[in-house]
Amino acid sequence: MGPLQIKDLLLQAPESQSVTLKGWVRTKRESKNAIFIALNDGSTINNIQAVAQPGQFSPELLLTVTTGSCLKITGRLVESMGAGQNVEVQIEDLHVYGTADVDTYPLQPKKHSLEFLREIAHLRPRTNTFSAILRVRHTLAFAINKYFHDKGFFYLHTPIITASDAEGAGEMFRVTTLDLDKPPRTDEGKINYKEDFFGREANLTVSGQLEGELGAMALSKIYTFGPTFRAENSNTTRHLAEFWMIEPEMAFFELQDNMDLAEDFVKTVITYALENCKDDLNFLQNRLAEEDKNKPQNERSLPLLEKLRFVVDNPFERLTYTEAIEILLQSKPHKEKKFQFPVGWGIDLSSEHERYLVEKHFKKPVILTNYPREIKSFYMKLDDDGKTVRAMDVLFPGIGEIIGGSQREDNYEKLLERVNEVGIDPETIWWYLETRKFGTAPHSGFGLGFERLVLFVTGMTNIRDVIPFPRYPKSAEF
Amino acid sequence: MGPLQIKDLLLQAPESQSVTLKGWVRTKRESKNAIFIALNDGSTINNIQAVAQPGQFSPELLLTVTTGSCLKITGRLVESMGAGQNVEVQIEDLHVYGTADVDTYPLQPKKHSLEFLREIAHLRPRTNTFSAILRVRHTLAFAINKYFHDKGFFYLHTPIITASDAEGAGEMFRVTTLDLDKPPRTDEGKINYKEDFFGREANLTVSGQLEGELGAMALSKIYTFGPTFRAENSNTTRHLAEFWMIEPEMAFFELQDNMDLAEDFVKTVITYALENCKDDLNFLQNRLAEEDKNKPQNERSLPLLEKLRFVVDNPFERLTYTEAIEILLQSKPHKEKKFQFPVGWGIDLSSEHERYLVEKHFKKPVILTNYPREIKSFYMKLDDDGKTVRAMDVLFPGIGEIIGGSQREDNYEKLLERVNEVGIDPETIWWYLETRKFGTAPHSGFGLGFERLVLFVTGMTNIRDVIPFPRYPKSAEF
């Protein structure tokens, strides 16, 4: 079904066989002896070169063959004499499906800024950079599904619309069918959510974890891979209002198993991308190097592939929060008062602290564990000392926290105490509490922000460039 | 990482080797000579039998081993003398992680109605029926990702929050951060959406198709697999407010290719489930047969596996809408005025008509094509006669429409005409229209409701039973 993909065509042996290809013109170049058309169909970063003879086609037809126009070409696959490709197509027949007017088509063959391309997100997948990003993104998504499937995890679709705000992870989007102009009201004059679609207040989920735990307490190992939402009004290169999360939850996993899984998981999926996206990653490595040329030496990144191999090849450094604080207290920037934020046991590590540990001190990914209970979520298992919880954060160079997780509190009384402590009405999560009442077991899980991973693997710097249609304050175009 | 799964343990050769297993008690049975514990960890429908000797453990400990309690068992894997299993575990050590009080744990070993289980959706994955459904659901999801990956499609995450209502597929959920009690208003007194999070009205998506097409016009072959939403107030066994859709979009595919892909796709994923979910499908087949016993003979279903193999083994019947109307006009129920709704060219086929074609006339899946333009969406490609469009609906026995798709209108002028005809403001989908302006090409796609597929493969009858946490009017629990 459908045409031969250019990715596959480029691998064929040139035996003058008849081939038909379909794709979009990247460039057209005319010389005295030939007309060269570089055609791309999005299956690969590489174009195929199609060659016509002068006079073979009418000037009128050739005028419509411009960057962005869509062609069907029939011809012979032959060895290429040009540099940079093994095969090319001698055109026998050429049909233009759709033109792209040179005066109005925005993607002319020149450098476009990422900012400009964000404004034409409907067309940017036609550029080398964004098609490479989307192929890498696909490959990572597939690797994630394959990893968990191979390990006996079940993909669980946790709900997107939720009536519980238990995670308390920040601002939520309201989901409603009420008439905002004239909402129904109770006798007391309050909004009457009983008349809303779900008969109660409903929001977009910030995490599938709580429901994921329900699955793990029945199927042992589950993972979610779905959209999550934050209505935070933050216009940064690291935040989206809508993003995809992967959240595995495992019965019978303690903190150590959780760390082992997180490290093995992230290494395996990055390895899969390294093995299956060679051309795209090479392209993105060059793009990054090109961009870095404008930066001072000390701000330049490692070459992309080197950075990825480094993560894959080295064991992550594992230490407790308490040990990390010790290191920070002994550090040069702390002693020289170069840190913007104070260091001390109990603080929520800030980005500068995490970066110091990962990029300066250990120079590799770090897993920090056993954080103070006060700065972590209610569902994390209390350590025996009563002061820390079995949390773990995986910190990556340049990215910061890429994975956050913990062993979950499996003791009903201790969990209930924490729920009350943080001010959640236990009635609203009766179903979550019941998993600790009936057949409880030690269990763990973590969350990975998918776009953070794609950001890391592609070497891009703005999260709006690694999701097809980014959602952020004042922007829901496309 | 983590314990050995019972699924794998059941395949080991019994050599008195030491094993550790963790899971939940399904049943406990005490005889004079032994205590039998059936343990399940959700990795398989099959339990493993663990055997203790009378007096081996204290009566107090054994009293806490009840249905639903969670255990860690260490013992020897030996050949089983009992019927129904090859191996069993001679218990050496037994630890109870969590009890399940017999008086309050809702899942006692007896038959529970599906209605009751829906009210305890947090626990129902611990039942045989729902764990089987969730494993089949996982397997189908994996098969879908694998199918498209193998065929060179890229998984595209289209947006969940959208400002366009172009699909017009029904009622949408509003997404907002405005204060419903005192929303900001314009000078004219209208709700001021400029102050909303996205600076405009935003909704939950009803389909990723339009954005999917943008991807296909750059990467050639993409698919979406994500949640979609309908705020329809319908309380039926076929509708959910939140459900998952799969939407492939392919450049250079015409209607014929689209049909070929749809048929190959659905057959391949069902075959994958048949090959990889044998135990679960056998269980679900028996469940269905059991349920059918209470029905009159003529309302009983085919055995589940027979029904699935039938779909996989036979070519789908392909005919045009016009031909289907002819058949219906010649049919016995029409002539005997047994159809509730009238038959005639131009009607939107109702369920009884579709069922007649699929279940009575052809007795196999049917692909209907070339529907009247008036009853189909604006984006479908107009046929040369100007009366019909290149739509295709795949109809399944017992399910009705499982796939809906079409070749897309790729002509800018014709598309614009239809957009205006149906009353969409072209400004709101300028980006969609531009794909026809710049490098347009013939292209096609379709949508598959994931839960409809799971319904068909599991033989369940209520769509609320094939998604972990169903969302429907007045219900957003868990």
pLDDT digits (tens, 9 = 90+) for B296-323: 988 888 899 999 999 999 999 999 999 9
Task: Set out the domains of chain A in order of their start, with CATH numbers.
Answer: 6-109 (2.40.50.140), 126-155+253-465 (3.30.930.10)
Distance between B411 CA and the closest CA of chain A, angstroms: 9
What is the reported pLDDT for A173? 96
A435 touches chain B (CB under 8 A): yes
Residues of B whose CB is below 8 A from A174: 175-178, 180
Distance between B290 CA and the closest CA of chain A, angstroms: 24
Provide the pairing of β-strand A87-98 with A70-79: antiparallel
Q: Is the pLDDT of residue A390 over 90?
A: yes
What is the reported pLDDT for A170? 61
Q: How far apart are CA A97 and CA A166, in angstroms?
A: 53
Residues of A whose CB is below 8 A from B227: 157, 160, 226-227
Residues of B whose CB is below 8 A from A99: 439
What mean pLDDT is predicted for residues A257-265?
98
What mean pLDDT is predicted for residues B241-252?
98
What mean pLDDT is predicted for residues B341-358?
95
Distance between A260 CA and the closest CA of chain B, angstroms: 7
What is the reported pLDDT for A166? 60
Distance between A78 CA and the closest CA of chain B, angstroms: 24
What mean pLDDT is predicted for residues B354-363?
94
What mean pLDDT is predicted for residues B12-19?
96
Q: Is the pLDDT of residue B62 over 60?
A: yes
Question: Under DSSP, is residue B470 helix (H, G, I), strand (E, B) or coil?
Answer: coil
- What is the spatial order of strands in the sheet that B161-162 belongs to? A161-162, A203-204, A174-176, B174-176, B202-204, B161-162
What mean pLDDT is predicted for residues B381-390?
97
Query: What is the interface size between A and B, counted as CB pairs within 8 Å?
Result: 351
Q: How far apart are CA A48 and CA A30, in angstroms?
A: 16
| Residues across chain A | 478
Tens digit of pLDDT for each residue in A49-59?
999 999 999 99
Strand partners, B20: B74
Q: Is the pLDDT of residue B51 over 90?
A: yes
- B35: pLDDT confidence band, cut at 50, 70 and 90? very high
Q: How far apart are CA A304 and CA A287, in angstroms?
A: 10
Q: Is the pLDDT of residue B168 over 80?
A: no
Tens digit of pLDDT for each residue in A83-117?
788 999 999 999 999 999 999 999 998 899 999 99
What mean pLDDT is predicted for residues B349-355?
94
What mean pLDDT is predicted for residues A166-178?
81
Q: For chain B, positions 85-114, list CB contacts with chain A under 8 A.
A: 97-101, 104-105
What is the reported pLDDT for B169? 53
What is the reported pLDDT for A297? 85
Distance between A339 CA and the closest CA of chain B, angstroms: 34
What mean pLDDT is predicted for residues A186-201?
96
Q: Across B315-442, where does the E strand assignment appear?
A: 317-320, 366-372, 388-396, 400-408
What mean pLDDT is predicted for residues B216-245?
96
Q: What are phi and psi of A74, to 5 degrees?
A: -115, 140
The average confidence (pLDDT) of chain B is 96
Residues 6+ apart with CB under 8 A from A19: A4, A9, A12, A74, A75, A76, A77, A89
Instruction: Nearest by CB to A439, from B24, B214, B410: name it.
Output: B24
Residue B279 burial (C-beta neighbours within 10 Å; 0-12, 13-18, 19+):
middle
B176 touches chain A (CB under 8 A): yes
A2 touches chain B (CB under 8 A): yes
A440 and B70 within 8 Å at the Cβ level: the answer is yes
B161 and A251 within 8 Å at the Cβ level: the answer is no
Q: Across A63-162, where does the E strand assignment appear?
A: 70-79, 87-98, 154-155, 161-162
Provide the pairing of β-strand B317-320 with A161-162: unpaired
Instruction: Nearest by CB to B197, from A126, A157, A473: name it.
Output: A473
A471 and B436 within 8 Å at the Cβ level: the answer is no
What mean pLDDT is predicted for residues A412-436?
95
Instruction: Nearest by CB to B125, from A204, A219, A242: name it.
Output: A219
Q: How far apart are CA A447 and CA A209, in angstroms?
A: 8
What mean pLDDT is predicted for residues A69-86?
93
Can you read off the two tokens belonging to residue B421? 């005809």
Q: Is the pLDDT of residue A277 over 80?
A: yes
Q: Is the pLDDT of residue B170 over 80?
A: no
Residues of B whose CB is below 8 A from A469: 158-159, 211
What mean pLDDT is predicted for residues A403-415?
98
What is the reported pLDDT for A164? 77
Tens digit of pLDDT for each residue in A347-389?
999 999 999 999 999 999 999 999 999 999 999 999 999 999 9
Tens digit of pLDDT for each residue in A207-238?
999 999 999 999 999 999 999 999 999 889 99
What mean pLDDT is predicted for residues A150-154?
98
- B166: pLDDT confidence band, cut at 50, 70 and 90? low
Whether residue B348 contacts residue B372, with contact meaning beta carbons closer than 8 Å, is answered with no
What mean pLDDT is predicted for residues B171-182?
95
What is the reported pLDDT for A1? 79
Q: How far apart are CA B212 and CA B252, in angstroms?
A: 14
What mean pLDDT is predicted for residues A57-63?
97
What is the reported pLDDT for A256? 98
Instruction: Nearest by CB to A198, from B176, B468, B476: name it.
Output: B476
**CA dist list (Å): A86 to A37, A78, A254, A275, A330:** 15, 9, 53, 22, 58
What is the reported pLDDT for A199? 97
Tens digit of pLDDT for each residue in B65-101?
999 999 999 999 999 988 788 999 999 999 999 999 9
Q: Is the pLDDT of residue A122 over 90?
A: yes
Q: For chain A, positions 11-50, list CB contacts with chain B under 8 A.
A: 22-25, 41-43
What is the reported pLDDT for A154? 98
What is the reported pLDDT for B330? 97
**CA dist list (Å): B177 to A167, B192, B193, B194, B206:** 18, 12, 10, 12, 20
Q: Is the pLDDT of residue A168 over 70?
A: no
A404 touches chain B (CB under 8 A): no
Whether residue B231 contacts residue B172, with contact meaning beta carbons closer than 8 Å, is answered with yes
Q: Which residue has the higher pLDDT, A298 or A157?
A: A157
Question: Which ipTM was obtained for this model?
Answer: 0.97
B1 and A261 within 8 Å at the Cβ level: the answer is yes
DSSP state letter for A3: P
Instruction: Nearest by CB to A227, from B134, B149, B226: name it.
Output: B226
Residues of A whose CB is below 8 A from B229: 160-161
Q: For chain B, positions 217-256, list CB contacts with chain A under 8 A.
A: 217-221, 226-227, 229, 231, 233, 241-242, 244, 250-253
- B197: pLDDT confidence band, cut at 50, 70 and 90? very high
What is the reported pLDDT for B33? 93
Q: Is the pLDDT of residue B219 over 70?
A: yes
B227 and A475 within 8 Å at the Cβ level: the answer is no
B343 touches chain A (CB under 8 A): no
What is the reported pLDDT for A344? 97
Instruction: Nearest by CB to A252, from B22, B134, B410: name it.
Output: B22
Q: Is the pLDDT of residue B424 over 80?
A: yes
Q: Is the entire prediction scored with pTM above 0.95?
A: yes
Residue A257, H or E segment: helix A255-276
B226 and A221 within 8 Å at the Cβ level: the answer is no
Instruction: Nearest by CB to B231, from A197, A253, A473: name it.
Output: A197
Q: Is the pLDDT of residue B164 over 80?
A: no
Instruction: Nearest by CB to B219, from A42, A120, A180: name it.
Output: A42
